[in-house]
Structure 1
Amino acid sequence: MSELFPHFQVIVVSGLHDSGPGHWQSRWQHLHPEFVRVRQDDFDQPDLAAWAARLDQQRRADPRPALLVAHSFGCLTAVHSIARNCDGVAGALLVAPADPDKFGVADRLPALPLDCPSILISSVNDPWMSAPHAALWARRWGSELVEEGRLGHINADSGLGDWAAGQQYLQRLAELAHNRLLAFSA
């Protein structure tokens, strides 16, 4: 995918029930075994603080800057983690975030831009978050918003396979993060 990825720790942050073998996150990990996945104690019981703490552990396990590749409740986990401490996070790809109101965690998420580049990808027919609500959260977080059309929850049921378009968004995020890191080191 990218010659930039060795410079980053790429962390897969899945949502409820983890991501099965047909999910694009799992397929990307198969394509890139160097990507690591955050393992939660219980993928069936979303707990924002506990899940973010586990992500924080994974972030500290590698000194390289992290690119977070999040889906659904994993997006909420990633944003919560970044808001508490952005050190070492180079960027976040936030795909089909779950609606924070459905989980009662909206008040625990930042309403200000994240301190790293982020791309939020939404679908107009996502049952877990409406397109207008996704646009609202993208504005709050300072994320570039990409509306991908009618892809449902952008998961295995969407039939995306290796999701080439998503890989291109991750490549763009890596480039943004790399350029930002270069600018800070200059």
Structure 2
Amino acid sequence: MSGQKQPDTLVLPGYQNSGAGHWQTRWEALSPAFVRVQMPDWEHPQRDAWCRTLDAAVAAADAPVVFAAHSLGCLTTAFWASQYASAAQLAKVAGALLVALPDPAEAHFPRDATGFAPVPLKRLPFPSIVVASSDDPYGGVPFSKTCANAWGSRWIDIGPRGHINADSGLGDWNEGREWLGSFGAPNRR
């Protein structure tokens, strides 16, 4: 990849943001190439506001970019790609790591989040990987497989890891950074 710019990584947390022990926060501490997209309201997510914020972040970034999305950040990515992004914006995206998809039909889905159903089941116009946990209370394996198939994503089950967040004990989650690296993103250790 000599002579080519490595993509910057836009970090897309979910509902209530990602705290200190979360793999997204730890990745940001490893490299300035990881840039968190600051959503307008972490406690009361609205699809339109989150997608417009993501669109502005992609517009402001130098191409190429990759997404490291968790939970509601994954649904934001899918809605943005299918309903908000221009062809020029989509062309800037080298790939997306989509971790712990929440199912809006699940009882645990945050009721303060609005506009995230029905989930768009349209092929994503960039490479993607969906990472699921077999015991995620916010989204089951069948839901994540359905989304991965519709989106044209590679699907990976990492076993019983809950919501794949700070409580999952992943630390710096080297395996996740390797998957992100498959899109040309930095893999700093």
1:1-186 equivalences in 2 (<5 Å): 6-84=5-83, 85=85, 86-101=90-105, 102=109, 105-107=116-118, 109-174=119-184
What is the TM-score normalised by the length of structure 2? 0.85
Shift of 1:34: 2.3
**Per residue, is there more helix in 1 or in 2?**
1
Q: How many residues align?
A: 173
Q: Distance in 1 between matches of 2:3 and 2:150?
A: 28
CA contact (8 A) 1:4 1:174 kept: no
Q: Which residue identity is paired with 1:106?
A: A
- Is 96-105 or 8-17 further displaced after alignment? 96-105
Q: Distance in 2 between matches of 1:93 and 1:53?
A: 20
Corresponding position of 1:184 = none
Give the superposed CA RMSD: 2.0
- Consecutive unaligned residues of structure 1, counting only runs of 5 or more, are 176-186
What is the TM-score normalised by the length of structure 1? 0.86
CA contact (8 A) 1:82 1:89 kept: no
Q: Which residue identity is paired with 2:154?
A: E
CA contact (8 A) 2:148 2:155 kept: yes
Alignment deviations for residues 36-92 of structure 1 (CA, whole Å, 9 cap, x no partner): 111012101111111011011110112312101100001001111112322321211
Kindly report structure 1 stretches of 4+ aligned residues shifted beyond 6 Å: 2-5
Shift of 1:9: 2.2
Q: Distance in 1 between matches of 2:161 and 2:3?
A: 28
- Consecutive unaligned residues of structure 2, counting only runs of 5 or more, are none
Q: Distance in 2 between matches of 1:129 and 1:4?
A: 41
